[in-house]
Chain A
Amino acid sequence: MSFYTDPAFFVIAAVLAVPAVMLGLLARHCRYYSLVASVIMLAFLLGSDLRETATLLGCLALCFGLTQGVLKLFQKEARHRVRLFRVALALMVCPLLAVKVCGLFGDNLFGFVGVSYLTFKTVQVLIEVRDGLIRHVSLLDYLSFLLFFPVFVSGPITRSRDYVGQMNDALTRDGYVQLLAEGILWMLRGVMYTFVLASFFEWLMWFAPASIVGSSWQCEALRQLSYAFAYGLYLFFDFAGYSFMAMGFGAFFGIRVPLNFNAPFRSIDIKDFWNRWHITLSFWLRDFVFMRMMRSVMKHKLFASRTTGACLGYLVEMTLMGAWHGLTPSYLLYGVYHGVLLASCELFQKTGLYKRNRRKRWFKLASWAITMIAVFFGFSLFSGQVVSVILGGR
């Protein structure tokens, strides 16, 4: 059973949500119950695949062990703790790395559904243990956070302190009712996005190019353009819809899942876009990759100017983002492309032209239009369309 597509998923999840809603209405948290529900859902997800189940369990054991180890090192202020932390971090990303490399060869030996998102969460915990922000990790909270089924397969990426905090905070009946009402609206919005709008644009992806007949290069260009446009909107409605449904299910279990999309097509520059598109991913990268990289660059004064460091930072951050999607040429190009866009945006925003005009209406409109063209071109890199056109096929 796959999540958010099989009708069975919705039926089982809805049944499992009933006790959670009842507990919520009694102003009680479903700390233990939510873990039970997640385990049941994951059992359906993994089905009879013993290899995947074993990999997931092994991965959880590895991550929990490493986290406890690092926790002890920092509590005791042990020698070489920073170096050992780095080793632990490297070990933690090994499973994901193995999956991505095997994926290149069409092999799925180490993979299990959700490994990418799981890694984000385990790494976040480990880094915050190192920062001294997390001083205690109980197995129950850890599992409940990592396995929380509404966001297990593809996000939004929750943060452990937020999740555990919400699970342990006193819940009021009014607070829960409010959350439940919001959750129902999110759910409806998600269903609308995924099953109506995304389906429509998915159909348009094939219908629009097919309805343009002719063999001139203009017709071909128009076909490619209409496909790219429909694909971009399909991608948004499909993913945003899924994210809203995850917020809905999260709310039923008393958890406010962070927003993943905030009107990305209103972005007026590319930085703005990454604050609105797949927000939990870009904020994760910002907090745990970009800011930390910049921090050490600035501390060691590696570059004369802040801008040079930032441009390089964006390039590394976004290339990593592309590689995380997969190590194929299309995904890597997509990452590098957005790195270059962000770096260019950073450079442009330092110019007098930008500073003089940034509040003017025409400037914002032009900036929006350019951003949208750049964004949709990015989507067609992501979908593999650009690479296949270059290689001469469709």
Chain B
Amino acid sequence: MDRAELEENVLSLIEELCGDGVVWDEQDIDLFSEGLFDSLIAIEFLVEIEERFGVFIAPTEVEREEMNTPRKIVDRIQERL
């Protein structure tokens, strides 16, 4: 899976979970401080990426600041693919 394809899949997953399409336009938006993500959505997100991309990230593996924007999320998944 190349970066563009991964990006598209991840962004649509984020949109699906938080119900807001803003992530397509602003890839550096802080999902937590904007209220798009909370710890509950975050954990569902981790479960989903494990199922869809086979990438396992433990809940305390990554600091929140390293995974709080769509761009950073794609980075973290790409590192593990």
Contacts of A313 in B (CB 8 A): 40
B22 at the interface (CB under 8 A from A): no
Given contacts A299-B47, A306-B44, contact A291 B38 (CB under 8 A): no
Q: In the complex the two chains form, is B58's CB within 8 Å of A133's CB?
A: yes
The interface centre, meaning the residue of B39, B46, B61 with most chain A CB atoms within 10 A of its CB, is B39
Q: In the complex the two chains form, is A131's CB within 8 Å of B47's CB?
A: no
Q: In the complex the two chains form, is B40's CB within 8 Å of A131's CB?
A: no
Query: Could you give, for residues 276-319 of chain A, a 1 whenever the CB lies within 8 Å of some chain B CB and a 0 otherwise?
Result: 00000000001110111011001100000010001001000000
Query: Could you give, for residues 39-81 of chain B, a 1 whenever the CB lies within 8 Å of some chain A CB and a 0 otherwise?
Result: 1101110110000000000111100000000000000000000
In the complex, A298 Cα to B35 Cα: how many Å? Answer: 21
In the complex, A158 Cα to B59 Cα: how many Å? Answer: 17
CB < 8 Å neighbour of A294 from B35, B40, B58, B60: B40
How many A-B pairs fall under 8 Å by CB? 39
CB < 8 Å neighbour of A131 from B39, B42, B61: B61
Contacts of B39 in A (CB 8 A): 286, 290-291
Contacts of B59 in A (CB 8 A): 287-288, 291-292, 295
Q: In the complex the two chains form, is A295's CB within 8 Å of B43's CB?
A: yes
A271 at the interface (CB under 8 A from B): yes
In the complex, A287 Cα to B38 Cα: how many Å? Answer: 13
Query: What is the minimal beta-carbon distance from B56 to any residue of chain A, in angstroms?
Result: 9
Query: What is the minimal beta-carbon distance from B54 to any residue of chain A, in angstroms?
Result: 14
Give the total of B residues in contact with A, Cβ under 8 Å: 13
Query: What is the minimal beta-carbon distance from A148 to any residue of chain B, in angstroms?
Result: 19
Query: What is the minimal beta-carbon distance from A243 to any residue of chain B, in angstroms?
Result: 21
Given contacts A133-B58, A133-B60, A133-B61, contact A295 B38 (CB under 8 A): no
A132 at the interface (CB under 8 A from B): yes
A141 at the interface (CB under 8 A from B): no
Q: In the complex the two chains form, is A295's CB within 8 Å of B60's CB?
A: no
In the complex, A133 Cα to B63 Cα: how many Å? Answer: 13
In the complex, A313 Cα to B43 Cα: how many Å? Answer: 12
Q: In the complex the two chains form, is A298's CB within 8 Å of B38's CB?
A: no
In the complex, A12 Cα to B42 Cα: how many Å? Answer: 45
Q: In the complex the two chains form, is A131's CB within 8 Å of B38's CB?
A: no
Contacts of B43 in A (CB 8 A): 291, 294-295, 298
In the complex, A228 Cα to B43 Cα: how many Å? Answer: 37
Contacts of B40 in A (CB 8 A): 294, 306, 310, 313, 346
B38 closest partner in A (C-beta):
A271
Q: In the complex the two chains form, is A131's CB within 8 Å of B44's CB?
A: no
A128 at the interface (CB under 8 A from B): yes
A358 closest partner in B (C-beta):
B35
In the complex, A131 Cα to B17 Cα: how many Å? Answer: 25
Query: What is the minimal beta-carbon distance from B14 to any residue of chain A, in angstroms?
Result: 15
In the complex, A80 Cα to B44 Cα: how many Å? Answer: 27
Known: A271-B38, A294-B40. 18 other contacts (CB 8 A): A128-B58, A128-B60, A131-B58, A132-B58, A133-B61, A288-B60, A291-B39, A291-B43, A292-B59, A294-B44, A295-B46, A298-B43, A299-B47, A306-B40, A306-B44, A310-B40, A313-B40, A358-B35
Interface pairs A-B: 8 shortest CB-CB:
A131-B58, A291-B59, A294-B43, A291-B43, A298-B47, A287-B60, A310-B40, A287-B59
A-B contact pairs, 13 of them (CB 8 A): A133-B58, A159-B60, A288-B59, A288-B60, A291-B59, A294-B40, A295-B47, A298-B43, A299-B47, A306-B40, A310-B40, A313-B40, A346-B40
Chain B residues at the A interface, C-beta cutoff of 8 Å: 35, 38-40, 42-44, 46-47, 58-61
